[in-house]
Amino acid sequence: MTSTSGSGERILAILDLFTPDRREWSPDAMMAALGYSRPTLYRYLKTLKSAGYLVSSPSDGLTLGPRVTELDFLMQRSDPLIAAAAPFIKLLAARYPGVALITRWYGSKILCVASEGAPDAPVSSYPRGQPMPIARGGISRVIMANLPRREQDRLIKTQHDMLAGPNTTADALRETYRSVRRMGYCTAWGEVTPGVVGVAGPILAAERMPIGAISITSDAASMTDTRLAAIERDIRDSAAAISGMFCARGGAPLRDVRPAIQAITDKDFSATDQQPRRHRL
């Protein structure tokens, strides 16, 4: 049974029931999950259906409605993180074979909100809109590494086994995060998607709080030392540039990203005749 009290929270609890594993709900199942009375639930459902957030399915269940798609359309065009980071992922996707991502951190979730990539790039296990695991991969570590100590400790305590396994201590995890924070990026081999290497950098806003990450995933088998070093450099510099835009004006990004983009574009990179990097997935 839900512990929410206000009507707004109770309505949001209905929407929170919908997940990739459970995309359709019957009213009876909702009442069992949330503990609402039938009159209360049906009053909320009427409101959500009238506003387009829910629609009835052919099987007499309920699914998310067109208003959710409309809000997604608006979010893509109004999210300041997407606006600030979009030129950078376009540059990364054009420069390296792979998929460049912008991810947002909210609550305890990591969500891809925008991506750029070639048609033959490795397919991500977590496409836009699907939450990523907080416990695995470079994106997770750059977020964890930049969280305030209290929040970091809370996640280490509640998700320790997922973050590192039972044989890794909390102190060892903290040392890993300190190292990632110093470097300004993190590289992970095959942790989220098999056969893929991912490099991520944190995007920080006011008070240096992480709001997301910029990353690129590439085929691990064809990765070279030279290319990986260039990707790590460009991810670190891109993350720092985007973070600087948000921190410079109290969280509002600067409108002109051209100087930062040009600084990355001007850096030389060549992976010609390089041997694939040896690694262990």
What are the pLDDT digits (tens) for 240-265? 999 988 876 554 555 566 666 666 66
Top-confidence residue, 276 or 237? 237
Q: Which of 140-144, 155-159, 258-262 has the lowest mean pLDDT?
A: 258-262
Cβ-contact 112, 102 below 8 angstroms: yes
pLDDT the model gives residue 123: 60
pLDDT cut 90: percent of the chain above it = 49
Instruction: Give residue-wise pLDDT tens across range 30-59.
Output: 999 999 999 999 999 999 999 999 999 888
In sequence order, the 6+-apart residues with CB closer than 8 A to the CB of 129 are 72, 111, 112
Most confident of 28-32, 150-154, 156-160: 28-32
Q: What is the percentage of the chain residues whose pLDDT exceeds 70? A: 80
Looking at residue 173, its pLDDT comes to 85
Name the token pair of 4: 């929410």
What distance in Å separates the CA atoms of residue 172 and residue 121, rounded to the nearest whole number? 34
Instruction: Report helix, strand or coil for 54.
Output: strand
| DSSP 8-class letter at 227 | H
CB 104 within 8 A of CB 111: yes
pLDDT single digits (tens) 103-129: 999 877 888 999 998 766 666 666 787
**Distance from C-alpha of 99 to C-alpha of 113, rounded to nearest angstrom:** 13
CATH of domain 79-265: 3.30.450.40
pTM: 0.79
pLDDT at 138 over 80: yes
Q: What is the pLDDT of residue 91?
A: 92
Measured in Å, how far apart are the chain's first and last C-alpha atoms? 42
- Measured torsion, CA atoms of residues 224, 229, 233, 235, in degrees rounded to the nearest 10: 40
* 21-28 contacts, C-beta under 8 A, 24 or more apart: 23/63, 23/64, 24/57, 24/59, 24/61, 24/62, 24/63, 25/61, 25/62, 26/60, 26/61, 26/62, 27/62
Q: Residues for the chain: how many in total?
A: 281
pLDDT tens digits, 167-214:
678 888 888 899 999 999 999 988 877 888 999 999 998 878 899 999
Residue limits of CATH 1.10.10.10 in the chain: 7-70
Q: 125 near 193, Cβ under 8 Å?
A: yes
Top CATH class of 7-70 equals mainly alpha
**Residues 170/156, Cβ–Cβ less than 8 Å:** yes
How many angstroms from the chain centroid is the CA of residue 249?
Answer: 23
Q: Where in the chain is the domain with CATH 3.30.450.40?
A: 79-265
